[in-house]
Amino acid sequence: MSVEILVLEGDGISDEIMAPTIKVLGAVAGDLDYHYLPFGGKSIDLYDNPLTPHTLGACRRASAVLLAAVGGPKWDSTDPSAPRPEQGLLDLRKELGLFANLRPAKPFPALYDASPIKQERLEGTDLLVVRELTGGIYFGKRGIDPVTGKTIDTCEYSPEEVERIAHVAFKAARTKVTSVDKANVMDTSKLWRRIVTEVQAESYPNMPLEHLLIDNATQRLGFVPSDFDVILADNLFGDILSDEAAMVAGSIGMLPSASLGEAGTPGVFEPVHGSAPDIAGMGVANPLAMFLSGAMMLRHGLGRSDEATAVETAVEQALNDGLRTADLGGSDSTADATKAVLNNIK
């Protein structure tokens, strides 16, 4: 029996990195059945809506959802009523209840020289950013006063929202959880810190917990990333920290992610990077983060750890053999990267 995977056709380099990802996944899991629907800017062009009800329904029925990236200058607008590709992504997360975003950052030894962080500080780094994905300032009340021009974006969190993402972080931790907030200023952060502390005391008393202000966390992540195991953060801070973690991997083109909800809900798996419209159509995009997102789909979405490991090992071996796309300081094309990974799949 085939497993249905919904592929959301996005913008920019999306098609260029999604097609080879399907080839890589096919080499380790031949029973996956892929269905394609437009999303983001592509859907706006067709339906004036980045996420149509039909596409949303298909996402709910799928076993998992694969997405490359959305957005681009074509759809940029100062008109707040104009549809935006990114709004489709926010709506998808909200409608599917994908409250937990997992973003691992582990440097490949072959790419130590691609990172601005010194090798001795990179060695031993294997961290995971657990980002709350459906609350906070991205989903709070917002608006512009047409008379005064005053603009608001409201950060809101309930105790229940903080509690459920805290459980995800503690369950994933091996040595400690570092919870990031701005509790010296923001009331939502004060709530965040209190609830996380209570969850640890009540359910995970043997797992160390430390609290860091976002200012300190960004500095330490860039200076000594090996200090971290699991970083727990709200929507905004998690977004910032997971992008900063690109320094650990050597390029944002190396970072995958998984967005998960309650058991039985299909997850969405996508690279951290954007749609890179400046290189779209040139065949030079780095597809490795998309490959690794596919591996996360296999592991977290379909429960196929062996197949996921096969993809991850093939990526690492390709890098060990010298694969370097432009963002990694080399000249290998998307096709070169795909061939190198496929040749190493066992």
Instruction: Name the E strands within the chain.
Output: 3-9, 32-38, 64-67, 100-105, 127-132, 142-144, 151-153, 177-181, 209-213, 230-233, 256-260, 268-271
Catalytic residue among 91, 126, 227, 243: 243
Query: Residue 316 belongs to what H/E stretch?
Result: helix 305-320
Dihedral of the alpha carbons of 9, 241, 183, 177, in degrees to the nearest 10:
100
Return phi, psi of residue 248, to 5°.
-65, -45
Query: Residue 339 belongs to what H/E stretch?
Result: helix 334-343
Q: Give the DSSP letter string of 229-295.
A: SEEEE-HHHHHHHHHHTHHHHTSGGG-EEEEE-STTSPPEEEESS---TTTTTSS----HHHHHHHH
Distance CA 84, CA 39 (A): 11
Q: DSSP code of 106? A: -
Active site residue 138: yes
Active site residue 182: yes
Catalytic residue among 182, 234, 327, 332: 182
Catalytic residue among 33, 45, 48, 215: 215
Catalytic residue among 42, 106, 138, 327: 138
Catalytic residue among 234, 239, 327, 332: 239
H helix count then E strand count, the chain: 13, 12
Tokens representing residue 197 in the block: 């502390």
Distance CA 67, CA 70 (A): 9
What CA–CA distances, in Å, run from 298 to 29, 92, 312? 9, 20, 11
Instruction: With beta carbons less than 8 A apart as the criterion, state whether 325 and 110 touch.
Output: no
The overall longest dimension of the chain from CA atoms, in Å, is: 64
Active site residue 176: no
Tokens representing residue 335 in the block: 């096709």
Instruction: Name the E strands within 135-265.
Output: 142-144, 151-153, 177-181, 209-213, 230-233, 256-260
Active site residue 171: no
Residues identified as active-site: 138, 182, 215, 239, 243
